[in-house]
Structures are given as C-alpha cells and as structure tokens.
Amino acid sequence: MTELRPHYSFRLFPFMRPQGLLMPATDAYVSIPPALVIRDNEGALWTLGFDQGGWRTGEYEYDVVRNGRKTGEHACRIEFRRAQVRIFGTAGWRVWNGHSFV
C-alpha cells in the first residue's frame, strides 16, 4: 500500500499535523464547529478542511480531514461521542470504523 501525501500543507496549516503521543485525546462530547480539532483515542487529528462540498443539509459542508489528509467525505459537523468519531452530512450521521465512514 502506498502512503498518501497530505492534501493540506502542514507548514500553512500546522493545526492539522498530529501532535505526537503527548497530546491527549479530546474530551467526550466535543463537536466541530465550534472546536477546531478533535483527537481520537487512536491519536488521529480530525478537522474540517476548506473545500466546500455544497449546501445540502441547510448548512455548508466541507471536506473531512484526518491527519491532514482528505477522507473523501464532506460534512457540516464532526463529533466525538462515546469514543467514536462521527460526521453529519447529506447521508445523515455516519461513524468512523477505522477505515471509512459507515
């Protein structure tokens, strides 16, 4: 498997870079927005990117970014609930299973 290159520059957007083992996991029940980033129990850093996906749910949707790489999904909200990352977008609520949103 080839390693994917980041879609966003860590130099321009340092908040998207994983911060290492010393950064604790985000508290339960945190949402983006208003939070800027979420760190899950695996140490991955989540945020919304800058590529707008449209206006489908009554809110603007942006690309979902994990460790600076686009996941291929768009959402208006990312939440960390019950130790799970989930997104809300056109397809409703979906949960990260470790590889993709289902």
| Weakly modelled stretches of the chain, pLDDT under 70 | 1-6, 18-24, 57
Percent of the chain at pLDDT exceeding 90: 37
The pLDDT assigned to 7 comes to 73
Order the strands of the 38-39 sheet from edge to edge.
Answer: 38-39, 45-55, 60-66, 69-75
The pLDDT assigned to 1 comes to 41
